[in-house]
Amino acid sequence: MAGSVKKVLGMILAGGEGSRLYPLTQQRAKPAVPFGGKYRLIDFALSNFINSRIFSIYVLTQFKSQSLTEHLQESWRFSSILSNHFILPVPAQQRTGDSWYRGTADAIYQNINLIEDSDFDIIAIFGADHIYRMDLQQMVDFHIRKRADVTISALPVPLKEASSFGVIQVQEKQRVTGFKEKPKRPKPIPGRSDEAFASMGNYLFNKDVLIELLYEDAADVESSHDFGKDILPRIFNKSRVFAYDFRRNHIPGLTKKEIGYWRDVGTIKAFWEANMDLRSVKPEFNLYNKKWPVRTASYGTPPAKFI
């Protein structure tokens, strides 16, 4: 895992209502939904940050956040002695008005003080409810190497399935030229005619670039204040935006079958299927990879599995 001299702040978006996962979200926030016999959904994102040695993390909460807050306090505590080592839940505080978070960008904007008052160089904005392993430092190194203002984590998907995703259009060197939500005719990745880049909803922003974009978006009364719908489409021509190929992210201990594994568990069907991916002797997602552990409450070993 390559190191970086840049300081990275993590901001995990954990305020979604999770209405499509009802009744699992009847009494709890979506990121606090149990998964895999032991974990909570947010444990996968947090484990990726910690395994990547990014220890400064804010978790932005909103709907039914009590169980999520309790889980973070019980399972993800750092010693206060360590500088810049924290995982802190940040509830919706209505600092910029009387509304709750109106979109992903507005969630960050309403907590912009946490960015402005910090000495971090890069802000990593990630979702809280996807199942995957990722070394974020490799994405950070790519971001720095490309001298990017913004980097989007991109999942290669079969072209025939790409219409179900937000599709990133790129040049040969992975510079982003456009973004379309569920296009009827998605554009393939240059040199890979049978695949397209789907946005994973995970972003790296240079701090000053992000602050400027958030203020511009907040002033736009017609904006829905969403990164994918509003902010990213307007910056491709004026900023250096790149797509990071998630499949090229190297995780120690991964089998060939697991490379590129990423699941959005936003529906009951998808949630069930992702749980079923854990069952076999050689599963699509292996909870027993000691070289890149999934961490959670009490003790760090994965749950028992009966074959």
Assign residue 206 the CATH number of its domain.
Answer: 3.90.550.10
Rounded distance, CA 234 to CA 22, Å? 34
For residue 285, the 8-state DSSP code is S
Domain that holds residue 130: 8-151+201-220+255-276
What mean pLDDT comes out for the span 189-207?
95
132 or 64, higher pLDDT: 132
Inter-residue contact 102 to 225 (CB < 8 Å): yes
Into how many domains does the chain fold?
A: 1
Task: Answer whether residue 187 is part of any domain.
Answer: no
Tokens describing residue 259:
């490379």
Task: Answer whether residue 288 is part of any domain.
Answer: no
Q: Is the pLDDT of residue 169 over 90?
A: yes
Name the band, by pLDDT with cuts 50, 70 and 90, for residue 3.
very low
Average pLDDT, the chain: 90
What's the pLDDT at 49? 97
Inter-residue contact 264 to 270 (CB < 8 Å): yes
Task: Answer whether residue 125 is part of any domain.
Answer: yes
**pLDDT, tens digit, 9 for 90 and up, residues 275-290:** 999 988 889 999 999 9
**pLDDT, tens digit, 9 for 90 and up, residues 257-276:** 999 999 999 899 999 999 99
Tokens describing residue 1:
């895992």
pTM of the model: 0.91
What's the pLDDT at 97? 64
Task: Answer whether residue 145 is part of any domain.
Answer: yes
Task: Answer whether residue 130 is part of any domain.
Answer: yes
Task: Answer whether residue 168 is part of any domain.
Answer: no
Q: Which of 46, 49, 41, 48 is nearest to 18 (CA)?
A: 41
Task: Answer whether residue 91 is part of any domain.
Answer: yes
**pLDDT, tens digit, 9 for 90 and up, residues 58-80:** 999 988 888 888 888 888 887 66
Q: Which of 93, 100, 138 is nearest to 251 (CA)?
A: 138
What's the pLDDT at 102? 81
Task: Answer whether residue 236 is part of any domain.
Answer: no
